[in-house]
Amino acid sequence: MSDRNKFDDEKEFINWLEGQSKEVEVTDELWQQRVNVASCVAHQAEIEHQKNVPHWNRGAAFSSEHQPWWQWRALPAMSMAFSVLAVALVLFKVELVIQPEGMMLSFSGGGKAKQEAEVSALVDLKLREFAAEQQVMLANYATDFTANQQDSNLQLATYVIGAARQERKEDMSDFISYFNEQRKDENFNQKIKYQQLERKINRTSYQNSNKPKLLNNSEDISYQIEPANFTTEE
Amino acid sequence: MFERSDETLIKQALKGKKSAWVALVKRYEKNLYNYCLRMVSNPDDALDLMQDIFVAVFRGLANFRGDSPFKGWLFRIAHYRCIEYYRRKKPTQSLDDVPEQEDEGSEVCPEHQFYSNQQTTALHKAMKFLPVNQKLVVELKFFQQCTFDDISQQLGISTNTAKSRLYSALDKLKDQLEVSYV
């Protein structure tokens, strides 16, 4: 038998095994026997009844794989490590200070002293600034107070001087009025006296001319020319 | 009731849900047990091998990427574990050699006797005489209905090697079956 036929038989057999053809025709006896055995095995596999699985622990493989996080194996060791770290931090007085300029890690309280010095310096600076500010405010207040006082004094003095001057002016006016009144009265008295004197003179001259006859009448007239409001003028 | 897919069960098992893993095991344990039974021809060894395979599957479950069906991945692991089983049992014997046959008369286990008498067919008896590599090819071809490409992928061999192993297995089976029938 030629190799060509064997090759065809094998190809035919493979196609049949792979389900690409339902019938198989081979010429070689060896391949025919293989076909027979394969048919027998396939038939046995088809009709074979599958056995049930005996009871077994199906979850046995599962137990050791996944654990809740609180049962994590490294948790106690990590807890111990953090405890030791915490004790070390306390013993060495480790401080972590976070500031706007950055973070500062200090040991043995060095950071605290530095921080206190910085705070003290800052407080001093603030106090100096406050004192300077207060001094400026006090100086301004004193200046304002002095200026107000001077204005008040000036106003008071002006008022007092003005009032005294007005008072003196009024006194002088009263005095001058009184003096003028006196002068007017004196002038009036002088006028009366001059008039009396004139009347006396006239009467005397009249009496001299009409001496026996008119003596009693002239006395009556002198009484009549007395001013009616003499007492009021006084 | 809707049946959860293999991928869903795997994801849930990876998240720590034991019931998902048990459901996955129940889905494939019968196929796998019968495969092991055909490969080792002993119920106790088959059960041990099946448990060994499931342990290996669970350990490698996180590495399953889902590129291929889970069943194929499971049986690929099963083939490797099966080969390991034979290597462990007979370290000096090649996988291409015909395994030494145990004396059936020396079997004292009643369960095994019962299995041998009632369940074992002539085919199973004949398959005992096949080397492991050829037995794997017969198993995949006739019991798992795999193509030669699938067989070559699962066993990591070429298609021609798979074919030649099958031809050799068929020749040996013919002899054994003839002997059995005679």
Residues of A in contact with B143 (CB under 8 A): 45, 48
Q: Which residues pair with A102 in a beta bridge?
A: A99
Q: Which residues pair with B132 in a beta bridge?
A: none
Smallest CA–CA distance, residue B86 to chain A, in Å, is 22
The whole-angstrom separation of Cα B30 and Cα A226 is 174
Q: Which residues pair with A95 in a beta bridge?
A: A106
The whole-angstrom separation of Cα A86 and Cα A89 is 5
Indicate the average pLDDT of chain A.
83
Contact A59 B138 (CB under 8 A): no
Is the model more confident about A117 or about A20? Answer: A117
Q: What angle do CA A141, A144, A150 make, to 5 degrees?
A: 140
Q: Which two tokens stand for residue A69?
A: 């996080």
Residues of A in contact with B171 (CB under 8 A): 33-34, 37
B21 close contact with A: CB closer than 8 A: yes
Q: Which two tokens stand for residue A84?
A: 């030791």
Contact B51 A17 (CB under 8 A): no
The whole-angstrom separation of Cα A177 and Cα A170 is 10
DSSP-assigned letter for residue B67: S
Q: Which residues pair with A200 in a beta bridge?
A: none
For residue B118, pLDDT beyond 50: no
Percent over 90 (pLDDT), chain A: 36
pLDDT tens sequence across B8-18: 888 888 888 88
ipTM at complex level: 0.74
The whole-angstrom separation of Cα A190 and Cα A196 is 9
Q: How far is CA B117 from the centre of its chain?
A: 22
What SS3 state is found at A102? Answer: strand
Quote the pTM value: 0.53
Give residues with Cβ within 8 angstroms of A18, minimum separation 6.
Answer: B147, B148
What SS3 state is found at A107? Answer: coil
Nearest to A37 among B26, B55, B170 (CB): B170
Percent over 90 (pLDDT), chain B: 16
The whole-angstrom separation of Cα B169 and Cα B135 is 7
Nearest to B33 among A37, A51, A61 (CB): A51
Indicate the average pLDDT of chain B.
81
For residue A106, pLDDT beyond 90: no
For B63-88, what is the mean pLDDT? Answer: 87
CA atoms within 13 A on the CB side of A16: 19
Contact B142 A45 (CB under 8 A): yes
Smallest CA–CA distance, residue B174 to chain A, in Å, is 6
pLDDT tens sequence across B27-63: 999 989 998 988 887 889 999 999 999 999 988 888 8
End-to-end CA distance of chain B: 52
Position A225 confidence tier, pLDDT thresholds 50, 70, 90: low
Q: How many helices and strands (H and E) does chain A possess?
A: 6, 2
Query: Element (H or E) spanning A113, and its range?
Result: helix A110-209
Instruction: Decide: B157 and B57 in contact? Cβ < 8 Å.
Output: no
Contact B25 A60 (CB under 8 A): no
Position B181 confidence tier, pLDDT thresholds 50, 70, 90: low
A6 close contact with B: CB closer than 8 A: no
Contact A60 B51 (CB under 8 A): yes
Position A37 confidence tier, pLDDT thresholds 50, 70, 90: confident
Q: Which two tokens stand for residue A176?
A: 């001058």
Position A149 confidence tier, pLDDT thresholds 50, 70, 90: very high
pLDDT tens sequence across A19-31: 777 777 777 888 8
The whole-angstrom separation of Cα A41 and Cα A35 is 10
B119 close contact with A: CB closer than 8 A: yes
